[in-house]
Structure formats: structure tokens, C-alpha cells
Amino acid sequence: MTAPATTELPVVVIGAGPAGLAAAAHLIDQGIEPLLLEAGPTAGAAVRAWAHVRLFSTWGEVVDPAAEKLLAPTGWTRPDPSTYPSGGDWADRYLQPLADVLGDRVRTGATVTGVSRTGRDRIVDADREQQPFVVHVAHTDGREERVFARAVIDASGTWATPSPAGGSGLPALGEKAAADRITYRVPDLKDPAVRARYAGKRTAVIGSGASAFTALAYLADLAKSDDGAGTKGMWILRRGISGSTFGGGEADQLPARGALGLAAKAAVDEGHADAVTGLRTEAIERADDGRLVLVGEDGRRLDPVDEVIVLTGFRPDLSFLDEMRLGLDERLQAPVELAPLIDPNQHSCGTVYPHGHRELSHPEQGVYLVGMKSYGRAPTFLAMTGYEQVRSVAAAIAGDLESADRVELTLPETGVCGGAGLFDTPDAAEGDGGCCAPAPQLVQLGAPAPVGAAAEEAPAGGCCGS
């Protein structure tokens, strides 16, 4: 089969999450046809996996302008921009309606297994940039397909590839064998079966980002409930506790994000969780009674726990891009021009310099990593950053470099940027989410109050993942 002329081809967008759907909207705005390939059964499948967690970003910050423009003719209206959505609400009330508008441009159950240049493997230079991209796709019914594209935007995120418990970046010895007692996601303690798994149990939480804060706060809430007597958390930190451990607190320009850190601090202060500092997990051993024993690289052996929640961040899956000539930072696995701007050792969400297609480009012209995936292993991503990324990239693909280079973005400063909020009280669900919002208060975590909008969360290591 001969590939069509490049100008006749769509832009393939990998992933129908927040960034991927927004990319499609911006491409349409530029007069370019997108084709979205989503591995999950629905649009926003990864977001639905953390449907129970509430974002610390408001509705006003998680709706893309070009997407809203597409939705407007359907009668869709954005929920109250000052309220905080949960993952489930975000998916149901924004992502799915947007996918419905895009129609056949979105294909679900379609896993991308490889991307290359037509007739050119990675080492071939001759006439390379004139060849269209070829994308191999595996469907849930067993069919395999190849799709040709003029450009490829990878917005597949990092949700499917969580980092392990091991302090060296590798799984701890025994980690895989202990999989029956380990989870790599914030558990939904409103689910009766999940709640029973942790109620009255001793649970280790490994991680220091907002997702770890969320898990600690959930466990503390369970410990204070009628059916949770005896619930205890053990918070495993690879470093010590310092003034920045709990994020920006009352100084955070995202109030719900600051309140999340305060809630985690309260879990420790009130005795619902014990903090173990300076422990880098080397092994996870099985005790005689089936419980798990964490062993540090320094030889320390902790008391047995019933469950382990590993929230050490996420990393990009680059396996299907192996034939692409990517320019990635050796530490973060982010584009080399972007990496210094998002280094978590130097930046929070709000101190990231605005960036667009130039910082996201690679030696392989026409391929872009956007959204959570563009940040590699950095946990400082916000949805509004991804929306600005795809606006710039779509303009660049269309040849409108003036618009593509006009990158303007103001982000809320301070605090941690991984994970999401979980607050359902009126004080936390209202407010403008910006610099002038009321100072966050420590809130009680309980059954969710009805929210008149939708909701979003972000996976560990990301503010509102794609």
C-alpha cells in the first residue's frame, strides 16, 4: 500500500485524555483533521481511573478554550469556574462531551504499538523528512492496522507506568512477588470493597508528593470513622521532613493544593500516621503471617504492614517511539529544551516558564510529546500548561509560526504540583482558585458533598494528567 501525500493526511494524536482532546480541538481550529487513538475503552480513560479524587484546580483552569468553542454549538456550558471538579466529573461533564463532538475522529480500544517514518527505520537519513509517519495500531478485537499521518502528537500521558517502590528507581527486591498487597494508585475508600481492604489495617504510604498527601488524608479520615478503628498509616519518606515537605500551605496560590498539604500534616500530627524519614526501600519481604516488611538500603527493617501504597511518581512509556529520533534529557526523559524549565529541583508548577512548540520539538521533525508525557518524570504539570502546549503545536503544524511562538501563560505559584485535591466541604469547593482566594483552612475529609459541576484529579506526580 502506498502512503497518500503527506498534506492529505491527518495528524495522529495518541491518547484521548485532556491534552489529546484539546490538541484535536486546536487542530480543527487550524483547519487540520485530527485522528485520536485511545487505548482505553472511553475517552478520558486514565482520568476515570482516579474519578474519586478531587482536583486542586478549578473548572476555570481545566477547560481548554478551543475545546469550549467546539462544545458551544451543542449547548454545553462550563460548570461554575470557581468550583473544583473530581476526576469523574471532569470526564463525564467535559471530556466525554468533547469526544462526542469529535465523533469518528476518536477511536477507542486502539493501542499504538509503534511509530516510524514510512519506509525508513531510525537509522535511514535519505529523504526522511519527506516521508509521512506510519503508526501501527492494535485493536481490542485482535486486528492490527497501520495509519499514515502528517505529524504525530503523543498525549498518552504517564498514568499506565507508575514508578516502583525501590529507592534506586528499580522495583525493590520482592516487590513483584508482593503485588497482592501493593497498589500504585490512591485508593478509593468510598468503595466498600476497597474500604474493607484498609479499614483497621496498618498501611505504608511511600512517596512525598500530593498523591501521598491524598492517601494519608484518606487513611486518617478512615481511622476517625465508625468502621475504621485501628487504621494506621506509615508514611515512608526518602528524605527528612523540612519546611517544604507539606507544600505551600496557606501561602499556596491554589488554595485546595495548600489545604491538601495541611491535611497530610494533620494526619501525622494527630497520630493517624507515623513518619519514617530517610528510608530508601531496598526490599519488601513477606512475614510469616503474610504481612509485608519494608527493608531500607541502610539495613533498617520496619514493623510489618498489611498493605503498601506506592506513590513515587510516574514515568513515560517510550517503547512505541523507539524508531523516532527523540531528543530527551538524560535525567527527566523530557525534551531537552524543556527539561531545564521544569526541573523539579528548581521549579514548582507556577515557576515553569511558558513554553510551546520550540521547546517541545525533537530531531525528528513533526513529532511532539505533550501534556504529562512531555514532562517525563517531572511531577510539576498543570492542565493549563498542556492546553497552551497543544495550542502552540497545532499552530506550528499549520505553519502559523507567529501564533505558535506567541506563548503566554500565567501559573499559580508555590506548593507541590503532583496529585490532586480531595476536598468536598463548601469552603474548599468554592473560591476563585487564584491569588486572591481565601487562605486555605484545614478541612475534615468525609463523604463527598454534591458538587454542581464536574470534577477532576491528577495522578501522582502530575497536577491533572492527560
Cα 10 to Cα 7: distance, rounded to the nearest angstrom? 8
Average pLDDT of the residues in 420-448: 32
Q: How many residues does the chain have?
A: 466
Could you tell me which of 37, 457, 464 has the C-alpha nearest to residue 214?
A: 457
Distance of CA 124 to the CA centre of its chain: 35
- pLDDT tens digits for 64-102? 999 999 999 999 999 999 999 999 999 999 999 999 999
- pLDDT tens digits for 120-168? 999 999 999 999 999 999 999 999 999 999 999 999 999 999 999 999 9
Strands (E), 131-216: 133-139, 144-149, 151-154, 182-183, 202-206
Instruction: State whether the Cα torsion 334-336-342-347 is positive or negative.
Output: positive
Higher-pLDDT residue of 204, 208: 204
111's CB contacts (< 8 A; 6+ apart) are 37, 39, 137, 138, 139
pTM for this one? Answer: 0.84
Cα 367 to Cα 363: distance, rounded to the nearest angstrom? 9
Could you tell me which of 179, 249, 263 has the C-alpha nearest to residue 213?
A: 263
Q: How much is the pLDDT for 346?
A: 73
Cα 369 to Cα 387: distance, rounded to the nearest angstrom? 13
Confidence of residue 34 (pLDDT cuts 50, 70, 90): very high
One-letter identity of residue 166: G
Confidence of residue 438 (pLDDT cuts 50, 70, 90): very low
Q: How much is the pLDDT for 258?
A: 61
Q: How much is the pLDDT for 25?
A: 98
One-letter identity of residue 59: W
- Give me the percent of the chain exceeding a pLDDT of 70: 82
- Assigned C-alpha cell, 47: 482520568
Q: Taking a C-beta distance cutoff of 8 angstroms, is the pair 155, 17 a contact?
A: yes
